[in-house]
Amino acid sequence: MAYTPDRLATYNTKRDFEQTEEPRGQVGSGAGGYRFIVQKHAASRLHYDFRLEWDGVLLSWAVTKGPSPAPSEKRLAVRTEDHPLDYGNFEGTIPKGQYGGGTVMLWDDGTWAPQGDVAAGLKEGKLKFTLQGTHMKGGWTLVRMRGKEKRENWLLIKERDDYAEDRPNALIEGEAISVKTGRTMAEIAEDAPAKELPDTTPKRRRKRPAFVKPQLATLVSDAPSGEDWMHETKFDGYRCLASIGKGGVQLFTRSGKDWTDRFHGLAHAFDALPCDAALLDGEVMAARIEGSAFSSLQSALKTGAPLVFFAFDLLSLDGKDFRKEGQMDRRERLAKLLSGAPQGGPLRLSEHVLGSGPEVFERACKAGAEGIISKRIDAPYRGRRSKSWLKVKCTRRQEFVIVGYSPSDKKGRPFASLLLASHEGDTLRFKGRVGTGFSQDMMSELAREMTPRKTPPAEGTPDEIARTAKWVRADLVAEIDFTEFTADGHIRHGSFIGLRHDKPASAVRLEQPKKDIPTMESKVAGVRISNADRQVYPEAGCTKGDVARHYETVGERMIELAGHRPLSLFRCPSGIDGQCFFQKHDNGGMPDSLSKIAIEESDGDEADYLYATRPESLIAAAQMGSIEAHIWGARVDRLDRPDRLVFDLDPDEGMDWPRVRDAAFEVRDALAELGLRSGAIVTGGKGVHVWMALRRTRGWDTVKLFSQTFAHVIAGHSPDRYTATMSKAKRRDRIFIDWLRNERGSTAVAPYSLRARPGAPVAVPVTWDELKTLDAPNRFSLGDMKARMKQDCPALAVQEDLQSLTNDVVAALQDWAAQD
């Protein structure tokens, strides 16, 4: 679609504003928010007009069949002319004979958050975003169709998330009512009066938690390196505690000021949380960053532009105080509470990285961040400054009290520079001046806010500055970025960032970096292991150093079997009794010895996956708190061609081992009937993996279909012993033949991987003869591996025995299935 310099010229040309009540087109300032609307439009053909606020106008598409919550549905969305922002409030009837004649209803209204650069997305033909409206929620994508049509055809597609549904027309079923006036289409056409809309604000019963003093971070010169630290990007906004409960949300600054009114754009951000009361710690930022993050926030507060609350701690929930719990435990509770909040909406969970503090800090600085906050994962929440929270800054940045200014000789400029000071004990002492970083609007604001006084409020101002200085009341706080302090303690090369209205001037003191928090270290195969004496398996007495040495012992053999395959690491930074989680992506904090590969995921986006190429990779993963390694069934050089097929025999709780062991032999024999040879791996848990190596001649679809069919045939022949369905109910007193390991992206535990279970068991390949006499699937532990490495490995023999799922094998399976 070609655009004239006047973004709304086409809109205005098509309409006779003497005949229609539609608003006359005027481009907005471009500094507005992220509003989206959908108007149900009964023109010559019923459709839904989807509009996104951007750059002073409403980008518009006509969705012919209406939006669908089913990801499989791709709804045609025809790009139409840009509309004025005022059109977002239009509801009524366009006269017959006029362009678009018919009834218009405001069907949906809310906010949108772009995922990526909007201008680039419009140009390239792919725009991803998150919606938070009455009807449309969650992730959506607009994709431009290729073709030479005169009109610009796009497809509106729902992302697969918690708001997706299988019913294609679920959003538009039934009689719709306006989100603005509560009227139906017929009532709008009749110009019936507006109705009172139902109050959708959640009815919470518990009293809002009281404000508590927030935990503050200690400034240090270097980031801690141990895996017992988590790291977050240091936000450049306003610290905020959100108290949720009866009567709505109350938002406090770090000093306890009630700024609910100033943060009014976040009033409904917390409505979706499934709780009666909660106290969250976080940071308020501008949703749209233009220039510095802090100046963008100040601008948003003045103009009413959208805000975002980044939550990073949960202090209480439904009457329970969690401040005595460890950092990661609180984090886990917070993530669960926020799991239903729309991705990309105004309420977001802050991102974090475990371990590798120096690397995380380096990347943050390269990305232009102010710095990072490092938090001990086992520390409670303390309402004071402590060393369990550390901050590391990329630049010298401090808050100072404004005590005066030097006059300017330039016309229209209220001052040449600000005079700054900081408290030292009971004394306010001069610390230098700053004359850059001001916009004209900010200079005017500062001139209005500074209150003159006759005497200097600070000591130590040099005579040459004091002679011409104009003094002001010491009640304004400025944030200043600078390179260093001079020998006399004055700032050098300072630049003004903004005013800090959330902090009292009396609290401003210089922060001097303290020495790093020491960690106990050792080395394993040249890899530095911090906190090597930390207990990982408390019952077995095994430490983090023991885990690293295990992967040194089995590393060569494990790489032969599991190397060069995308990994999913199971990390337990606090040991197996603490919080554990899977990680498959490189989130910016993983060691360089773990290789990365970009893989396209199901939603079409690429993500960096991890894989190991040498024993040091596995040891480095252990340094990051990893215990288990799970692998894909394909290698990184041909991800589309699996070379490994696995059946995981997973028994119901309480089933005795002999039944599981017998099942492994039955699966082996059934495969043998099809002409396929297999091996066995005891998993260190409850079950057994029966597996084989494949020639890379078939794709994932074939391997998955074969394994699915095989598992269902086995289960069909012996339904009292087996199930091929994941359902817990159907697994009762049965063994689940888990064929799902053979899908693209699925993983199975790697041979010789430790398991995060009591006793430090290891997944070990065994011969069929050995399996006959084995008394448990977790028979092997960490302490057995040195002796085991002196024996031949059964899995290496299986890996060299490449087999194919030939047409004869598939036909034999089909014949076997037909006999049932």
Residue with tokens 């918690």: 162
Q: How far apart are CA 185 and CA 512, in angstroms?
A: 65
Q: Residue 318: left if φ>0, alpha if ψ -120 to 50, beta else—which one?
A: left
Question: What separation in angstroms does the CA of 141 have from each of 81, 91, 129, 158, 604?
Answer: 19, 26, 6, 6, 11
- Tokens standing for residue 414: 């209220």
Helix, strand, or coil here: 347? strand
Q: How far apart are CA 37 and CA 427, in angstroms?
A: 55
* Residue 283 CB coordination number (10 Å): 21
* Residue 595 CB coordination number (10 Å): 19
Q: Is 234 a catalytic residue?
A: yes
Q: Is the alpha carbon torsion for 400, 405, 409, 411 positive or negative?
A: positive
* Residue 794 CB coordination number (10 Å): 20
Question: What separation in angstroms does the CA of 408 have from each of 95, 309, 373, 415, 620?
Answer: 60, 39, 39, 5, 58
Phi first, then psi, for residue 777 (nearest 5°) are -75, -15
β-strand pairing of 216-219 with 385-393: parallel
> Are the C-beta atoms of 357 and 517 separated by less than 8 Å?
no
List, in order, residues 6 or more apart from 186 with CB less than 8 Å away: none
Q: Please choose, from the candidates 383, 388, 422, the residue with its C-alpha nearest in 3D space to the C-alpha of residue 402.
A: 422
Residue with tokens 């005013």: 499
Residue with tokens 């609307």: 37
Catalytic residue among 128, 137, 158, 234: 234
- List of E strands, 425-469: 427-434
Helices (H) and strands (E) in the chain — how many of each? Answer: 16, 43
List, in order, residues 6 or more apart from 320 with CB less than 8 Å away: none
Q: Is 244 exposed, middle or buried (0-12, 13-18, 19+ CB in 10 A)?
A: buried
What residues are labeled active site? 234
